[in-house]
Chains A and B, each alone.
Chain A
Amino acid sequence: SAVISQKPSRDICQRGTSLTIQCQVDSQVTMMFWYRQQPGQSLTLIATANQGSEATYESGFVIDKFPISRPNLTFSTLTVSNMSPEDSSIYLCSVGDLLVDEQFFGPGTRLTVL
């Protein structure tokens, strides 16, 4: 199994600012994903973070709003740009193993935008 850490664990931000969330994995992984989970809701996939190339975004999510970096096989960042209160949510990174086909989730970052 993979051990995943996220920073920060929570933050309260002002409207119009940006926040970068970091995801660190204890081993090299092929697939890394970013999800959003609004309070009491299910998980929505934002994008797949690709090592060495641009992230693949899902419908409704764009790079200008959620730029993603993945400089190596153990680390990724998600930036939430020009935040509004509607961006208040929990942001989770997850990693997948193509052989095991199981996703491991980080502890999440709870974001509140005022």
Chain B
Amino acid sequence: GQQVMQIPQYQHVQEGEDFTTYCNSSTTLSNIQWYKQRPGGHPVFLIQLVKSGEVKKQKRLTFQFGEAKKNSSLHITATQTTDVGTYFCAATSGTYKYIFGTGTRLKVLA
């Protein structure tokens, strides 16, 4: 079945450093979404990417969908302690069901 891998699994950064997580699929994707889950919380939707090569920005967050629609990345510029949490990508190959990636747990050291 379809698998969605994320790297790295964990990342510790100093506050103010940049952070990037990568999401890779074994199959071509239709859409990809990104979610953030704070410790003890539930996943919260951040963004959806649909088009090949699409880049979207939300303040310090930049999301990119690969040209081949098999990978995606989330980049955070100048991390803050409020960025702490686990970031998941969720991908679909055309159905209404999304497969969640393995997640990247981010810790920001003040």
Contacts and interface: CB of A to CB of B under 8 A. Distances in A.
Interface string A18-56: 000000000000010100000001111100100000000
Most buried by A among B41, B43, B98, B100: B43
A101 B101 contact: no
A103 B96 CA distance: 11
A101 B1 CA distance: 22
B85 interface: no
Interface in A61-101: 92, 96, 98, 101
Interface string B21-42: 0000000000101010000011
Interface residues of B, number: 20
Contact of A104 (B45, B90, B98): B45
Contact of A98 (B88, B90, B96, B99): B96
B44 interface: yes
A42 B101 contact: yes
B31 A105 contact: no
Interface residues of A, number: 21
A99 to B, nearest CB: 12
Interface in B16-68: 31, 33, 35, 41-45, 48
B101 A103 contact: no
A43 B86 CA distance: 12
B93 interface: no
Contacts of A108: 42
Contacts of B42: 92, 105-108
A42 B31 contact: no
Interface of B: 1, 31, 33, 35, 41-45, 48, 88, 90, 96-103
Question: Closest 3 CB pairs between A and B?
Answer: A105-B42, A43-B100, A102-B45
Interface of A: 31, 33, 41-45, 48, 58-59, 92, 96, 98, 101-108
